[in-house]
């Protein structure tokens, strides 16, 4: 007579666990390989030896090797790191916001972080005269964070407090208001309008490690909060009454979850500008691979986000050489038909 561990259900569970672990490992390896490839691709193709020199060899007097070193260390390495960090943040944020709102078409922009960051950028340029991205990127993060807090605060008061629909409506209202204010400020200041046009395209280029490392700290904090809430998120998706009956503090968990989403989306948006559809798209790509268990779908979505953003950045450097297309534009070109296809096939599911 076999033990319970030999039952078909136990064997199926063990097989699923192995499949998910292998899938996560394959995705991680794909991100690593793509990140390495990113160092070779650009207006000037580099050989493995040149990339190795640019990364590890000490400075030399040779002018050509010095140029290669500058290309690798100040252009390609920062944008590669930023693509990984921002893609990971937006992927995790997209999966989280869909889980917490139980809304399959929710994206991180639902919390108003994109428009909050945009409004802060144009305000900083117009009112304070800031022109350096290193200066106004901090205002972008502050604007994203404040917008997220305001949306969550509005959704937590009144008769519909804590309801996912209330959160969506509050987010839409704040988004429309901030978008109108952003347009008004930008149209009254030419410098703000020019900066906003470039920043709104969504790009991982032109940002140095002086911005990337501090933003990475916010992303790490957001990831820590997100991972800590994943088991509870599974319970919340059973319904508030069931979760409450199982001892879940719903208000606290939603607060922590929204804080994680705001940190992740705010940091990525501040550094790269708004990148539409990425979180929405990878959350739906991850779910067929993992099922409804957020303990797996959220990490899968994060790695898929990093991979997609890296690939879009690489393709953007190749299609119009020696120029390039911003990664955010290519993500939107992928995301819009993906969204339409999902609507057409009726496959929007969160569980």
What's the CATH number for 20-201+208-345?
1.10.3470.10
The pLDDT of 266-280, averaged and rounded, is: 88
Contacts of 9 (CB under 8 A, 6+ apart): none
CA distances to 117, 182, 235, 264 from 175, rounded to whole Å, are 11, 10, 29, 18
What pLDDT is stored for residue 163 in this prediction?
A: 66
Output the average pLDDT for the chain.
85
Q: Return the SS3 of 42.
A: coil
* pLDDT beyond 70 at 290: yes
pLDDT digits (tens, 9 = 90+) for 41-85: 988 888 888 898 888 877 777 778 788 888 899 999 999 999 999
Cα separation, 255 vs 8, whole angstroms: 39
What pLDDT is stored for residue 351 in this prediction?
A: 45
Contacts of 127 (CB under 8 A, 6+ apart): none
Cα separation, 122 vs 139, whole angstroms: 9
What pLDDT is stored for residue 103 in this prediction?
A: 76
- Share in percent of the chain as helix, strand, coil (round to 5): 80, 0, 20
What pLDDT is stored for residue 309 in this prediction?
A: 96
pLDDT digits (tens, 9 = 90+) for 182-231: 888 888 888 777 777 777 788 898 888 988 998 999 999 999 999 998 98
Cβ–Cβ < 8 Å for 244, 92: no
Residue 72 DSSP code: I
Cα separation, 306 vs 290, whole angstroms: 18
Residue 94 DSSP code: H
Residue 75 DSSP code: I
User: What is the maximum alpha-carbon separation in the chain?
Assistant: 80
């Amino acid at each position: 007579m076999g033990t319970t561990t030999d039952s078909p259900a136990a064997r199926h569970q063990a097989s699923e666990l192995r499949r998910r672990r292998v899938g996560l490992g394959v995705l991680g390896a794909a991100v690593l390989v793509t990140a390495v490839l990113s160092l070779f691709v650009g207006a000037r193709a580099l050989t493995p030896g040149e990339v190795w020199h640019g990364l590890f060899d000490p400075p030399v007097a040779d002018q050509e090797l010095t140029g290669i070193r500058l290309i690798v260390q100040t252009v390609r390495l920062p944008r590669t790191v930023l693509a990984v960090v921002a893609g990971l943040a937006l992927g995790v944020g997209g999966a989280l916001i869909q889980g917490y709102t139980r809304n399959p078409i929710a994206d991180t922009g639902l919390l108003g972080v994109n428009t909050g960051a945009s409004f802060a950028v144009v305000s900083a340029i117009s009112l304070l005269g800031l022109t350096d991205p290193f200066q106004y990127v901090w205002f972008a993060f502050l604007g994203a964070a404040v917008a997220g807090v305001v949306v969550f605060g509005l959704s937590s008061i009144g008769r519909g407090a804590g309801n996912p629909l209330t959160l969506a409506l509050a987010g839409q209202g704040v988004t429309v208001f901030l978008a109108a204010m952003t347009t008004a400020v930008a149209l009254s200041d030419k410098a703000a309008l020019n900066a906003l046009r470039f920043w709104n395209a969504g790009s991982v280029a032109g940002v140095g490690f002086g911005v990337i490392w501090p933003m990475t700290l916010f992303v790490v904090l957001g990831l820590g909060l997100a991972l800590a809430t994943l088991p509870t998120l599974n319970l919340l998706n059973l319904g508030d009454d069931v979760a409450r009956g199982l001892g879940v503090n719903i208000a606290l968990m939603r607060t922590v979850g929204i804080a994680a989403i705001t940190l992740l989306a705010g940091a990525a948006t501040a550094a790269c500008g708004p990148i539409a559809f990425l979180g929405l798209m990878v959350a739906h790509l991850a779910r067929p691979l993992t099922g409804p268990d957020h303990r797996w779908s959220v990490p899968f979505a994060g790695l898929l986000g990093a991979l997609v953003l890296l690939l879009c950045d690489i393709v953007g450097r190749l299609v119009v050489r020696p120029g390039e297309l911003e990664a955010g534009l290519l993500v939107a070109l992928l995301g819009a038909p993906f969204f339409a296809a999902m609507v057409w096939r009726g496959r929007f599911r969160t569980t």
